[in-house]
Amino acid sequence: MPDKKKTPVSCEVNVHRLSRKGMPVSIEADESECKALAATHDLLSVERFAAVLTVRPWKADGVRITGKVEADITQSCVVTLDPVTSHIEEEVSATLVPEGSRLARNEVEGGEFVLDAEGPDMPDTFLGSIIDAGALAEEFFTLGIDPYPRKPGAVMEASEVEEDASKAAGPLYEGLRKLGQKS
C-alpha cells in the first residue's frame, strides 16, 4: 500500500508498536469527513461512515488487517438523476508487508510467475513503520459503492438509448441501422 495523500478518514498505526494480540481500530467519520468522502467519491452525500478493524502482526514483519466497513450513502440515479440511498457493508481483509519484503514477491517457477486465481491475494506493501488503516477502510468502502445506482422502477426507454447511441456514433451508425432495417 504505497503512501498516498491522507484520506478524510485517515487513522495511522505504528506497526512496530503492535502487540501479538493486535490492536483494535475504530473509525467513525464526523460531518466534515463525511462531506469530504462524498466529494472524493462523487456522491450526493455520505450520511454515515464507520469502520471497526483489528490490526495484527503477520509473519516476521507483516501486518494483517481484518474487520468491517459500514456506510450509508446517497447517489444520483443513472436514469432519473433522483437521489438513491444505499447501505454499504464490506468485510475488510488485507495483508501488508514492508516494501522490499520477500513475502511481497511472486514465486518464480522455471522463469514464470505462479499466480493462483483462487488463492490469497499478494500482500500490499508499505513504507516505514506507519500504515494508514483509514485509507484501507476507504478502499473497501469504495468497493461497496454501486457504480450504476438505479432508483427502483426507473427504466430508460429503448428509443432514448437508440437516439443517444446514434448521436454518439454519427453517420456510420445511421447507415448500419438502415441496412439492418432492409434485411
Phi, then psi, of 50 in degrees rounded to 5: -145, 140
C-alpha cell at 67: 474487520
Q: Specify whether the CB–CB gap between 29 and 163 falls below 8 A.
A: no
Phi, then psi, of 35 in degrees rounded to 5: -65, -40
C-alpha cell at 56: 495484527
DSSP state of 7: P
Helix (H, G, I), strand (E, B) or coil at 163: helix
Rounded to the nearest integer, the mean pLDDT of the chain is 83
Please determine, for residue 59, whether its predicted confidence score (pLDDT) is greater than 90.
no
Q: Specify whether the CB–CB gap between 91 and 68 falls below 8 A.
A: yes
Question: What is the number of helices (H) and of strands (E) in the chain?
Answer: 4, 9
**Which among 42, 7, 40 has a CA at the least distance from the CA of 146?**
42
C-alpha cell at 116: 493462483
| Beta carbons within 8 Å of 101's beta carbon, 6+ residues apart | 61, 62, 123, 125
Q: What is the pLDDT of residue 122?
A: 74
- The pTM of the full predicted model, rounded to 2 decimals, is 0.74
Residue 122 CA: distances (Å) to CA of 63, 97, 143: 13, 10, 18
pLDDT digits (tens, 9 = 90+) for 93-116: 999 988 877 666 554 455 555 666
Local confidence band at 157 (pLDDT 50, 70, 90 cut-offs)? confident
